[in-house]
């Protein structure tokens, strides 16, 4: 499809496109279909609905699709100009229309092709991280730094914390910690650390984020008191775009690492925001993280839609949400190192796709982003998997597992983990009929009447969709590919819906309102008027914390 034709199609209402209308008609046929029957009818279904990219295997055969579904979804992507939009994204064009800038996070992992400022920043990060890991950087007392505390929130914390949990050995030195909210979390952590051997990295583009600045001030007070020094700037570094404010705080220019407007917070782990992760895992491992993401970027750019992993995941997600009624999606990992993946994806997808207007400000007539949630698979099986199997809501699942364990090569234990993962996806797909339950119970000696009574309670409907993503093992390279996959999956859905995946005005308005309430909660006269509920809550809080309203 030409760029002109694509732009004309995108400007039209999504629900009026030929492919969308065809998908509506196609979905009517699903009432009589069951996934177990599709598998029984097609022994090659796995081969038809699976692919490898970036070292990852995606099995999407257990989704509510046929070849016709896939063809129609691909046609929809072409009618909506997806290939042109992908080209614009990867070329650093101005795809963030509301804020009038690029969303060029892929440039951060493009190796020698990266912009000069990216390469120079990575070089400076490597020098700093390697020196810390070698014990060459010291505090005011001359002792080497042994603990790093990253102060940030949202994208400045979720990505680096995930990478550290997934890829840094438990014996990493120096130790890296993350604090996002002020108050008790900061107080508890500082009680375990020595000021003489602790360095703080302040992560804030504006150097004015309320929670982060509060923690930075608390860290400075703690250092000054504990070290009995007048200048503790050597115990700080910063990742920020506000060099002046960071300098006024006392951070030396050589300890400042840049943030760029064309990298959004939830896409920033590849930038200097990833410095804590580089320190924990080593610069060579961080380079592998970038390389894995870069490999997925190239696949996204070059593979045709019907063989393009991020495109297929995005399109199938759109199908489940807007046609099949799956308003939420569970991400369930059978790899302990990915425990922080669900909250990371919550920000990535729900902040990106939580929109209700198109790029032109028109009211969206379809569903936008789903609710993303999940956790570790072994735990999930003893908790909420019950609802996914027998509940009334359709919840598509992404299962993620690794073929080999991270550290030891205890393949017997890994076999148990994989058996559980594969069993859950198979059971969601095929279910267990009431007739099968009755046969099993009576074969075990149960009275036929009692078996008939219990069968409806034990039966599982099946026909519940899922993807399974298999990593060779959880390494920096495979993690990079996985995170880039989900970034691009998110962009695909945004492109089809014609919404901006790169702004977050709901978040910004929340910050602004919190700032306006703060003086009043500190006992000062109200700066603005509030609704009755908010005013009453403020009065109650002031009454109970000893401050008069």
Residue-wise pLDDT for 103-137, tens only, equals: 999 999 999 999 999 999 999 999 999 999 999 99
Contact 431, 462 (CB under 8 A): yes
**CATH C-level class of 105-288:** alpha beta
Q: pLDDT above 90 covers what percent of the chain?
A: 89
> So what's the pLDDT on residue 320?
97
Question: For the whole model, what pTM was predicted?
Answer: 0.95
> So what's the pLDDT on residue 549?
62
382 is annotated as an active-site residue: yes
Query: Span 3-93+303-430+465-497: which CATH code?
Result: 3.40.50.10490
520 is annotated as an active-site residue: no
> So what's the pLDDT on residue 526?
84
- Name the DSSP letter for residue 376: E
> So what's the pLDDT on residue 10?
54
Q: Quote the Cα angle for 170-175-180, to 5°.
A: 105
Q: Please pick, among 184, 244, 302, 382, the residue that the annotation labels catalytic.
A: 382
Q: Residues in the chain with pLDDT < 50?
A: 1-9
**What are the CA-CA distances from residue 129 to residues 254, 265, 380, 397 (Å)?**
13, 21, 37, 37
> So what's the pLDDT on residue 157?
96
Q: Give long-range contacts, CB 8 A cutoff, 24+ apart: 509-513.
A: 511/210
Q: Please pick, among 511, 524, 540, 543, the residue that the annotation labels catalytic.
A: 511
Distance CA 430, CA 432 (A): 7
Q: Which two tokens stand for residue 183?
A: 């108050």
> So what's the pLDDT on residue 130?
97
> So what's the pLDDT on residue 5?
37
> So what's the pLDDT on residue 11?
52
Span 65-80, pLDDT tens digits: 999 999 999 999 999 9
Output the DSSP codes for 444-512. TT--HHHHHHHHHHH-B-----EEEEEEEE--HHHHHHHHHHHHHHHHHHHHHHT--TT--HHHHHHHH
Classified as helix, coil or strand, 373 is strand
Q: Please pick, among 351, 438, 488, 520, the residue that the annotation labels catalytic.
A: 351
Distance CA 330, CA 337 (A): 17
Output the DSSP codes for 125-182. HHHHHHHHHTT--B-TTSPBP-EEEEE--THHHHHHHHHHHHHS-TT-SSEEEEE-SS
Q: Which two tokens stand for residue 539?
A: 């009065």
Contact 216, 203 (CB under 8 A): no
511 is annotated as an active-site residue: yes
> So what's the pLDDT on residue 529?
86
Contact 35, 429 (CB under 8 A): yes
Residue 416's CB is within 10 A of a number of other CB atoms, namely: 12
Q: Which two tokens stand for residue 227?
A: 């070290």
């Amino acid at each position: 499809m030409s760029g002109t034709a694509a732009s004309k199609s995108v400007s039209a209402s999504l629900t009026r496109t030929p492919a969308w209308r065809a998908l509506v008609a196609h979905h009517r046929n699903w009432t009589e279909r069951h996934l177990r029957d599709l598998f029984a009818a097609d022994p090659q279904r796995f081969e038809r609905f699976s692919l490898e990219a970036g070292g990852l295997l995606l099995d999407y055969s257990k989704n509510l699709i046929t070849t016709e579904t896939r063809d129609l979804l691909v046609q929809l992507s072409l009618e909506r100009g997806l290939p042109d939009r992908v080209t614009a994204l990867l070329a650093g064009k101005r795809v963030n229309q509301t804020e009038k800038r690029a969303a060029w996070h892929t440039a951060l992992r493009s190796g020698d092709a990266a912009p000069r400022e990216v390469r120079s920043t990575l070089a400076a990060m490597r020098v700093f991280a390697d020196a810390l890991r070698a014990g060459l950087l010291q505090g005011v007392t001359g002792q080497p730094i042994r603990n790093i505390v990253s102060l940030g929130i949202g994208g400045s914390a979720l990505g680096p914390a995930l990478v550290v949990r997934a890829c840094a050995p438990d014996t990493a030195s120096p130790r890296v910690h993350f604090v996002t909210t002020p108050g008790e979390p900061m107080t508890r952590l500082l009680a375990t650390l020595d000021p003489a051997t602790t360095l703080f990295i302040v992560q804030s583009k504006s150097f004015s984020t309320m929670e982060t600045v509060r923690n930075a001030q608390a860290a400075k007070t703690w250092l000054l008191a504990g070290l009995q020094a007048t200048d503790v700037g050597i115990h700080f570094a910063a990742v920020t775009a506000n060099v002046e404010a960071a300098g006024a705080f006392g951070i030396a220019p050589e300890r400042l690492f840049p943030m760029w407007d064309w990298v959004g917070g939830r896409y920033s782990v590849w930038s200097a925001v990833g410095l804590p992760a580089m320190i924990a895992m080593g610069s060579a491992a961080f380079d592998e993280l970038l390389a894995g993401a870069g490999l997925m970027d190239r696949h996204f750019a070059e593979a045709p839609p019907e063989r393009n992993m991020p495109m297929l995941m995005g399109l199938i997600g759109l199908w489940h949400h807007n046609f099949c009624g799956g308003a939420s999606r569970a991400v369930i990992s059978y790899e302990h190192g990915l425990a922080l993946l669900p909250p990371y994806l919550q920000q990535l997808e729900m902040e990106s796709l939580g929109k209700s207007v198109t790029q032109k400000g028109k009211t969206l007539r379809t569903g936008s982003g789903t609710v993303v949630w999940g956790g570790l698979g072994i735990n999930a099986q003893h908790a909420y998997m019950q609802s996914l199997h027998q509940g009334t809501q359709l919840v598509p699942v992404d299962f993620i597992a690794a073929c080999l364990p991270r550290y030891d090569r205890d393949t017997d234990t890994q076999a148990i983990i994989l058996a559980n993962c594969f069993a859950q996806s198979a059971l969601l797909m095929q279910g267990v009929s009431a007739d099968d339950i009755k046969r099993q119970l009576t074969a075990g000696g149960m009275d036929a009447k009692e078996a008939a009574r219990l069968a409806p309670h034990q039966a599982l409907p099946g026909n519940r969709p899922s993807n399974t993503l298999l990593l060779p093992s959880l390494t920096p390279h495979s993690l990079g590919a996985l995170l880039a996959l989900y970034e691009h999956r998110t962009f695909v859905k945004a492109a089809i819906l014609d919404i901006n995946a790169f702004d977050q005005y709901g978040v910004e308005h929340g910050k602004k309102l919190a700032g306006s309430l703060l003086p009043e909660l500190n006992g000062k006269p109200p700066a603005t008027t509030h609704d009755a509920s908010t005013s009453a809550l403020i009065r109650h809080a002031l009454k109970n914390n000893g401050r008069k309203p």
